[in-house]
A = this chain, B = another copy of it.
Amino acid sequence: MNAKDYLEQLVKVGEKEDELTPKQAKILETAIEIFAEKGYASTSTSEIAKKAGVAEGTIFRHFKTKKELLFSIVSPVITKFAVPFFATHFVNQVFQEKTPDYEQLLRKLIMNRFEFVKNNIPLLKILLQEMAFHPEIQQSFQEVFRREVFPKFDEAVKYYQKNGKLIAYPSGTIIRFTMTTIIGFLITRFIVMPDEGWKDDEEIDRTIHFLMYGLSIEKSKD
């Protein structure tokens, strides 16, 4: 099977989420748990079946291959992570010129994605891990980003640059700084050091402030 067939399959399974058999749901649930913990490659279908309380054959009744099981887990995460990046009511205001402030846009963005990551850690661990070895996932992610996230982000950045609120870097660079800072914060917060007694509100404030004003002492703020 080639990459395109897999991608089609990805979308299909992602769409019909409500029509799941109880056993099917249990299989997905268990697979997510074990994949996140041990990785896709070193998880066996027999282990999933055993822990899900299901016969091994049942897995292959619903998912043609082990790889298809992985993709039906990962594929919905991609869209659910990327699409709402700019789907809030708030962001639309930006493009009606009612919110001339990159800082407030950032705040909405971070708060929004913070909650999402918080509620989907195992899924995001799997996505992060398996993207490296499955070109189909990489491709799907890249497509979704290019289509759903980048254009709006780009538009917003250019708007704020025009209004003299943002530095005149290439907008790709600004997007990169913004995203690596946010993602870096979220990965540190939820994956690298989840047990360090974080004061989330303070750290979010500092992250926003860092993005806007950097690490040098403040001479330009009121």
Contacts and interface: CB of A to CB of B under 8 A. Distances in A.
Interface string A165-195: 1110100011011101101110110000000
Given A42-B41, A133-B39, A183-B184, A165 B216 contact: yes
Interface string A144-181: 00000000000000000000111101000110111011
A1 interface: no
26 contacts: A39-B39, A39-B41, A41-B41, A41-B42, A125-B132, A129-B129, A164-B217, A166-B217, A167-B216, A167-B217, A173-B206, A176-B184, A176-B185, A177-B210, A177-B215, A180-B180, A180-B181, A180-B185, A181-B184, A183-B184, A184-B184, A209-B214, A212-B214, A212-B215, A213-B214, A214-B215
Given A133-B39, A184-B181, A213 B216 contact: yes
**Among A125, A133, A183, A184, residue most surrounded by chain B Cβ atoms (within 10 Å):** A184
Copies in the complex: 2
Interface in A101-119: 102
A176 to B, nearest CB: 6
A29 to B, nearest CB: 21
In the A-B complex, the 8 residue pairs with the smallest Cβ-Cβ separation, listed nearest first, are A180-B184, A214-B214, A41-B41, A219-B220, A213-B214, A41-B42, A220-B220, A212-B216
Nearest to A176: B188
Nearest to A210: B177
Interface residues of A, number: 41
